[in-house]
Amino acid sequence: MPETYWNHNVHYQRLVLKLVPEDCAHALDVGCGDGLLAGKLAARVPYVTGVDRCAEAIAMARERRPGNVSLVAGDYLDGQLPEGKYDLVTAVAVVHHADFGEAVDALVRLLAPGGRLVIVGNARDRTLLDGVVRLSGQAVSHVLKLFHGGKRGPGVPVMDPVMSWGEVGRAAGRLLPGCRFRRLLLRRYLLVWDKPR
């Protein structure tokens, strides 16, 4: 599926795709927006579901939906999705729209035993190091924008994060023992956790 725009979330979709488990049959993209990542997942996973509470985003996703992608207009927090079904759950720039603990608990419930959770999220700058990393990332972002025709997006709802990078890392370690957490340069973090079988 061709990319029609570039931004920090799209930039890290390649990283998400590298983390798809080999035996993945069912994937869920939470906060699927216009369906760009769901479409890319559909090239690797037999059954993909995209969910988003923004009706306009789901309408955009329906325009680009491959045949093996189903779309749900709704909220992953409300219990309408089947628990324990998905071998992969992805959430890009979504988790900070809710309470972190509540969001993580809901995502974990959706995972099948042995499934993988991949979160690309953002957090709030609070320290001098945060500022240094942000400035470094902005410089890289400006260069990348030149190569990708500018930084754009589909116009879906955005929200500023509340938790700091450190708070997210500590909460992730507490809620998801054994998870891998790392800060990425372009104002995002990567959180990967494999659910025990």
Pairwise CA distance, residues 112 & 143, whole Å: 40
Amino acid, res. 58: I
pLDDT at site 159: 75
pLDDT at site 145: 67
Pairwise CA distance, residues 97 & 121, whole Å: 10
Q: If pLDDT is split at 50, 70 and 90, which confidence band does 38 have?
A: very high
**Count of helix runs (H) and strand runs (E) in the chain:** 7, 7
Give the model confidence (pLDDT) of 158-182 as tens digits. 678 889 999 999 999 999 999 999 9
Give the model confidence (pLDDT) of 91-104 as tens digits. 999 999 999 999 99
DSSP state letter for 196: P
Pairwise CA distance, residues 130 & 193, whole Å: 24
User: 130: part of which helix (H) or strand (E)?
Assistant: helix 128-148
| Selected residue with higher pLDDT from 68 and 139 | 68
Handedness of CA 39, 43, 44, 47 (dihedral sign): positive
